[in-house]
Amino acid sequence: MADVVRMGVVGAGSISVRGILPHLSQEDVQDRVRLAAVCDPVPGRAEAAKERFGIERAFTDYADLLAHGDVDAVTIASPIGLHYKQGRMALDAGKHVHFNKTMTTTVAEATDLIETARQKGLKIVASPGEMLRPHNQQIKKLIADGAIGTLCWAACGAAFGTYHEKERVRQGDDVLSNIDPSWYFRKPGGGPLYDMTVYALHALTGILGPAKRVTALSGVRIKEREFRGKMVPCDADDNTLMLLDFGDSLFALVYGTAAGRITEGFGGSYFGTAGSIVGQKLNGEPFDYPGRDLAMQAPQGRGNQWLLPHVVGVHREIEEQHVYEDIMQLIDWIREDKPTIVTAEHARHVIDIIESAYRSAETGRTQELTTTF
């Protein structure tokens, strides 16, 4: 078993302040992972995070963290459009990498990272690890066992709404609570597909397997948003509807929209000749799965987070438990050489779906997917 993994956190924005840093600073993980360094380009933010969470070193420049942070691995929590470049820099510096969703914005970038990591003997874990959740594993089993007859079609997706503008770290007066969400609405990497629908797509493809083709309509519906009294121009697509073809006339409707939803949270709906699975109900009644009794005890919205393998004790009370779980999947892989199902290849396939959907919308043509997992 390897020693304690020294972790560098790239970005001290919302996901780090609310989730990554609180989780990794807890006493119960210090025998496995230590917060060695944090970086953020906003003046004073990394230093403030260092002081609040007991991190050893703070940097404003990412290259300095890689060169002088004495880290074994990094978790990349910067805007999605920066993930590929920063991930490649980490691999070139000999560091293992956890990517917060989404790993990259193109298949070519994802493939380069996968091949580089393989050549260098480094490990990549790419969020979100939706198939770690017992209810998704049970949905896959129910469908395979014929619980809803012959599966005919499915639906999944997510909507932006005003979630990011209203996060608790946005409207404060200090550098750790006035974090600007504008990048979520801009290219590259902005929009609900890369940010939210990615969860639904990981679950959908984890349950049904790789898709084969995609057709889509997409565009910008909300041209500007307000944040702290200023108008933010929006150029990333925020209204996308796609059809996925899984082969043998099995189809799925997937959406990433500015508002509204037709499914339950990020969960999918599955319709067959003998019934349906909608959210966590089989033909209108809750279905059983390992740990359901514990999940029912959790506060609303956290139930299935509590069933993730590393989410125990105090971690059940901290936000973004699923991100912490994916990081710990990397930590276990580094320390114990225990591979994870949260793979870069699965993430690349979801990226293929998103990138191809945008290309379909631009060209008016169905796109063949080139990846699998």
Q: Where residue 259 sits, what CATH number does that domain have?
A: 3.30.360.10
Say what angle helices 83-92 and 107-120 make with each other, to 10 degrees.
10
pLDDT at 12 over 70: yes
Residues 137, 188, single domain; the answer is: yes
Residues 124, 142, single domain; the answer is: no
Mean pLDDT, range 328-347, rounded to an integer: 97
Residues 87, 163, single domain; the answer is: no
Residues 23, 117, single domain; the answer is: yes
Residues 161, 257, single domain; the answer is: yes
Residues 125, 145, single domain; the answer is: no
Identify the pLDDT of residue 1: 62
Residues 208, 156, single domain; the answer is: yes
What is the distance of C-alpha 210 from the center of its chain? 18
The overall average pLDDT reported for the chain is 97
Residues 206, 95, single domain; the answer is: no
Identify the pLDDT of residue 300: 79
What are the tens digits of pLDDT across the range 251-285? 999 999 999 999 998 899 999 999 999 999 999 99
- Banded pLDDT at 244 (limits 50, 70, 90): very high
In a domain, 233, yes or no: yes
What are the tens digits of pLDDT across the range 84-117? 999 999 999 999 999 999 999 999 999 999 999 9
In a domain, 314, yes or no: no
Give the integer Cα–Cα distance in Å for 340 and 331: 10
Query: How buried is 44 (Cβ within 10 angstroms: 0-12 exposed, 13-18 middle, 19+ buried)?
Result: middle
In a domain, 313, yes or no: no
Residue of 18, 59, 17 whose CA lies nearest to 37: 59
* Number of CB atoms found within 10 A of residue 90's CB: 29
Residue 159 lies in domain: 131-302+350-368
Residue 188 carries which DSSP code? T
In a domain, 173, yes or no: yes
What is the distance of C-alpha 100 from the center of its chain? 5
**Gyration radius (Cα) of the chain, Å:** 20
Residue type, 302: R
In the chain, the number of structural domains is 2
pLDDT at 135 over 90: yes
Residues 121, 135, single domain; the answer is: no
CATH number at residue 337: 3.40.50.720
Give strand pairing partners of 210. Answer: none
Residues 155, 269, single domain; the answer is: yes
* Cα three-residue angle 256-101-170, rounded to 5 degrees: 80
Sheet with 275-278, edge to edge strand ranges: 285-286, 281-282, 275-278, 269-272, 151-159, 251-257, 239-245, 213-219, 367-368
In a domain, 373, yes or no: no
Identify the pLDDT of residue 42: 98
* Cα three-residue angle 112-118-122, rounded to 5 degrees: 105
Residues 153, 118, single domain; the answer is: no
Residue type, 260: G
pLDDT at 336 over 80: yes
Identify the pLDDT of residue 303: 79
Task: Give the three-class secondary structure for 127.
Answer: coil
In a domain, 83, yes or no: yes
Residue of 88, 163, 80 whose CA lies nearest to 128: 80
Residues 189, 330, single domain; the answer is: no
* Cα three-residue angle 217-193-266, rounded to 5 degrees: 115
Burial 338-366 (b: 16+ CB within 10 A, else e): eebebbbebbbbbbbbbbbbbebbeeeee
What are the tens digits of pLDDT across the range 295-319? 999 887 777 899 999 999 999 999 9
What are the tens digits of pLDDT across the range 15-69? 999 999 999 999 999 999 999 999 999 999 999 999 999 999 999 999 999 999 9
Identify the pLDDT of residue 302: 78
In a domain, 310, yes or no: no
